[in-house]
Amino acid sequence: MWLGPAPLSSGAGQLTGLSVQQHPSDNCGPRRDGLTPYLIVLHYTAMTSPEAALERLCNPDHEVSAHYLVGQSGQIWQLVEEDQRAWHAGAGSWQGVDDINSRSIGIELCNDGMSPFPDPQMVATEALLSTIRQRHAIPASGVIGHSDTAPGRKSDPGPRFDWARLARLGQAFAPISDACMDVDAVAFSRDLTRIGYDATVPETLDAFRQRSRPWVTGPLDNRDMALARAWAQAVDAQAASA
């Protein structure tokens, strides 16, 4: 059910089973070139409270927004209608294309960037992802982090975000492999490109590890190789079955 005033037109009857509050932001516009969303981009707010995040995401001076905000206790606010282009991703690319804002739904998670994500927040995020993915036929591989689209420039949702938990529920991809492979930087870059990364960006290894091996540092190694290959093969298999 919706809480508060009349829901945004993209919400009523479409967020079935979720308690969503309306908090409209004017920081949005039409999607460009007739594009529709096929990605969901996860962010953290780098703020400690939902109130501070709502103020920023709705303030025209900041020129930033998202479609949804999820609080630490599992509250969900809708700020922008899903058919509109929210301003959440900025400069970046995925799968060789830019203007991620026109191609995605943006979800901000209230988190300071250093703290774990509480279980109620994860449960609400999982439910929200499920209903958005069903509505727009977005595959699990289309659920990505801001750091995936802008390695080096952005780090959210950060190493504390539990991608493996989402993957176990079928709501995202997290590479799983016990294998090791010889280190081959060219082959690794090729696999990153198959996944969707811009492999020409030096910080892409860090972004990849944030999804696959949080807190690991150092040069490319044989575990990175095997995990990238497993992820690339999973993306290929999903594309083939679509």
Catalytic residues: 108
Residue tagged 């780090």 (tokens): 155
The helix (run of H) or strand (run of E) holding residue 213 is none
CA 199/CA 152 separation, integer angstroms: 12
Question: Pairing state of beta strands 143-145 and 84-86?
Answer: unpaired
Going by C-beta distance under 8 Å and a sequence separation of 6 or more, which residues neighbour residue 194? 232, 235, 236
- Sequence-ordered alpha helix ranges (H) in 32-183: 50-58, 119-136, 146-149, 163-168
- Sequence-ordered alpha helix ranges (H) in the chain: 50-58, 119-136, 146-149, 163-168, 185-195, 204-212, 222-241
Q: How many CB atoms lie within 10 A of CB 35?
A: 15
- Nearest C-alpha neighbor of 146 from the set 57, 82, 207: 207
CB 179 within 8 A of CB 225: no
In angstroms, how far is the first alpha carbon of the chain from the final one?
32
Q: At what angle do helices 185-195 and 222-241 cross, to 10 degrees?
A: 30
